[in-house]
């Protein structure tokens, strides 16, 4: 493990982001003076990372000495002072992640210290504007939170007919593989894009009201997206 | 390559399912007498697979000698005669698939020939009822077609702000990995399930009308699904 400059870092937070970030910083050779858990804040660090819940970021930032540089790790918060160091990944307790692959989004453009740190822990560092970061955060909701919910709906539908969600996993994997080398728009399949009215009608007939609206809206959206007119 | 019984099989169809199925059957040691491309149908085979588009299945079935067993490969069609041999996978030209992992759904329950064939090419064979097969097909639309569309929406949102969809891929991968060992319902994350009103409002403000309805509906659906009341 190499000693990476003489930066002394304090991480404010005790959740999954804070824990994983401290590990990454230590592995990159930085000194993490403190992983903060509501105890007193050390005042002589070179940089303070705020990795608490969005709602608490502003309050916590007020505890940091005014002359000290700070950065928060949130995808959606804007703070009047300091920078942003946003790792675009979901962190879970006890699940190792490979930081080299995690995109780290940096604001502002002119922060050499945040840049240096990001580049020492990831191969995928990008400078963003607040507007871009907001859009990324929003896109991640569509690409991850909403897709996970559709898997939840699938599982519910299958369970109702005594079928295992495992049956769909090979197909889900194939769907995921396809977007590694193609734009998702190019590899859309299914009855909506074929405008296969017979199948669409069969599906609508067996769907409960609560998922029928989702079915219709996403079918319509697929057709609008791929409409050549 | 072992010679697997003396079954002589004709596959009616010239698309991706027909091509991949013929390969799997040949690899398992069966004789594929004919891969049909609108030429005359051989009348002396032991089994006929119909792997044409849903709309054409009935017409094609009428070309098969009446005393001969047949099965179609569709997730949603019901035919008055014959069985179903439905491989739950998406097939693309020139993309190899590992048939051992592909779930094959068989109807009816009492077809030893279809069973034997399915078990010789896959480790994941399941007997279904027409109702179960319909539900699986519908679930696959939610789990694959609709998720792919949400990735398409994400890509569009990112492109609009000069960001690459690649930035989201590590996060999508992690989301996919999580459902390998957990029910998707257990690993739902994001502002909707947290009822994080500030973030939800920020997202709504920057969304175009055309995706706002999807955002609201899926947010609502997540909240309904996870409502403890």
SS3 labels along A9-48: EEEECCCHHHHHHHHHHHHCCCEEEEEECCCCCCCCCCEE
pLDDT number for residue B180 = 95
E strands, B104-224, are 104-107, 125-127
Q: Do B168 and A206 touch (CB under 8 A)?
A: no
Whose tokens are 């539900």? That residue is B135
Query: Is pLDDT above 60 for B187?
Result: yes
Of A89, A148, A192, the CB nearest to B184: A148
Is B77 buried (19+), middle (13-18) or exposed (0-12) by CB count in 10 A?
A: buried
What is the rounded CA–CA span in Å between residue B185 and residue B179? Answer: 9
Percent residues over pLDDT 70 in chain A:
96
Structure-model confidence comparison of residues A154 and B76, the more confident one = A154
Q: Please state the rounded mean pLDDT for residues B92-111.
A: 90
Whose tokens are 């507007």? That residue is A131
| B contacts of A162 (beta carbons < 8 Å) | 132
Give the confidence band of A34 by pLDDT, cuts at 50, 70, 90.
confident
Q: Do B147 and A147 touch (CB under 8 A)?
A: yes
Query: Is pLDDT above 80 for B228?
Result: no
User: Which sign does the torsion angle of CA B157, B160, B161, B164 carry?
Assistant: positive
What is the rounded CA–CA span in Å between residue B189 and residue B196? Answer: 11
Is A27 buried (19+), middle (13-18) or exposed (0-12) by CB count in 10 A?
A: middle
A135-180: per-residue pLDDT in tens?
A: 999 999 999 999 999 999 999 999 999 999 999 999 999 999 999 9
Q: What is the mean pLDDT of chain B?
A: 92
pLDDT number for residue B1 = 45
pLDDT number for residue B5 = 63
Q: Which residue of A has its CA nearest to B74?
A: A199
pLDDT number for residue A93 = 80
Give the confidence band of A223 by pLDDT, cuts at 50, 70, 90.
very high
Closest CA to A179 of A189, A192, A194, A193: A189
Q: Do B92 and A178 touch (CB under 8 A)?
A: yes
Query: Is pLDDT above 60 for B188?
Result: yes
Distance from CA of B24 to the nearest CA of A (A): 17
pLDDT number for residue A229 = 45
The residue of A91, A98, A150 whose CB has the most chain B CBs within 10 angstroms, and thus the best one to mutate to test that interface, is A150
pLDDT number for residue A1 = 45
Closest CA to B28 of B102, B107, B82: B102
Distance from CA of B6 to the nearest CA of A (A): 31
Q: Which residue of A has its CA nearest to B164?
A: A136
Q: Please state the rounded mean pLDDT for residues A95-122.
A: 93
Range from A124-138, B48-62, B83-97 carrying the lowest mean pLDDT: B83-97
Distance from CA of A171 to the nearest CA of B (A): 5
Bridge partners (DSSP) listed for residue A12: A36, A50
Check if the beta carbon of residue B55 is closer than 8 Å to that of residue A202: no
Of B90, B165, B184, the CB nearest to A155: B184
Q: Do B203 and A138 touch (CB under 8 A)?
A: yes
Query: Is pLDDT above 90 for B94?
Result: no
In this structure, what token pair is assigned to residue A217?
């809206």
Q: Which residue of B has its CA nearest to A127?
A: B163
Q: How many CB pairs under 8 A join A and B?
A: 289
| B contacts of A138 (beta carbons < 8 Å) | 157, 203, 206-207
Query: Is pLDDT above 60 for A53?
Result: yes
Of A76, A89, A158, the CB nearest to B170: A89
Q: Please state the rounded mean pLDDT for residues B169-192.
A: 95
Q: Which residue of A has its CA nearest to B143?
A: A151
| B contacts of A163 (beta carbons < 8 Å) | 128, 132, 135-136, 139
Of B144, B158, B202, the CB nearest to A175: B144
Q: Which residue of B has its CA nearest to A181?
A: B166
The residue of A94, A100, A170 whose CB has the most chain B CBs within 10 angstroms, and thus the best one to mutate to test that interface, is A170
Q: Report ipTM (2 d.p.).
A: 0.91
pLDDT number for residue B229 = 45
Range from A142-156, B78-92, B132-146 carrying the lowest mean pLDDT: B78-92
A65-92: per-residue pLDDT in tens?
A: 999 999 999 998 999 999 999 999 988 7
In this structure, what token pair is assigned to residue A62?
């007020």
pLDDT number for residue A137 = 95
Q: How many residues does chain B have?
A: 229
Q: Which residue of A has its CA nearest to B165?
A: A183
Distance from CA of B124 to the nearest CA of A (A): 8
pTM attached to this predicted model:
0.91
Q: Please state the rounded mean pLDDT for residues A122-147.
A: 96
Q: Please state the rounded mean pLDDT for residues A113-139.
A: 96
Q: Do B175 and A148 touch (CB under 8 A)?
A: yes
Closest CA to A50 of A18, A81, A72, A75: A72
Q: Do A191 and B141 touch (CB under 8 A)?
A: yes
| A contacts of B204 (beta carbons < 8 Å) | none
Of B141, B148, B156, the CB nearest to A203: B141
């Amino acid at each position: 493990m190499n000693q990476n400059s003489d930066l002394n870092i304090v991480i404010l937070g005790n959740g999954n982001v804070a824990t994983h970030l401290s590990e990454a910083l230590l592995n990159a050779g930085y000194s993490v003076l403190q992983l903060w858990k509501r105890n007193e804040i050390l005042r002589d660090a070179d940089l303070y990372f705020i990795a608490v819940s969005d709602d608490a970021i502003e309050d916590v930032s007020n505890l940091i000495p005014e002359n000290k540089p700070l950065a928060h790790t949130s995808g959606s918060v804007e703070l009047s002072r300091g920078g942003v160091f946003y790792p675009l990944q979901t962190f879970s307790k006890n699940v190792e992640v490979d930081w080299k692959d995690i995109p780290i989004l940096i604001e502002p453009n002119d922060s050499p210290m945040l840049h240096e740190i990001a580049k020492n822990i990831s191969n995928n560092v990008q400078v963003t504007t607040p507007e871009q970061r907001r859009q990324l955060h929003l896109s991640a909701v569509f690409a991850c939170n909403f897709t996970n919910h559709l898997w939840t709906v699938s599982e519910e539908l299958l369970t109702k007919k005594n079928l295992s969600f495992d049956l769909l996993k090979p197909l889900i994997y194939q769907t995921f593989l396809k977007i590694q080398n193609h734009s998702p728009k190019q590899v859309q399949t299914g009855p909506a894009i074929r405008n296969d009215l017979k199948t669409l009608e069969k599906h609508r007939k067996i769907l409960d009201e609560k998922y029928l609206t989702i079915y219709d809206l996403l079918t319509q959206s697929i057709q609008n997206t791929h409409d050549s007119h």
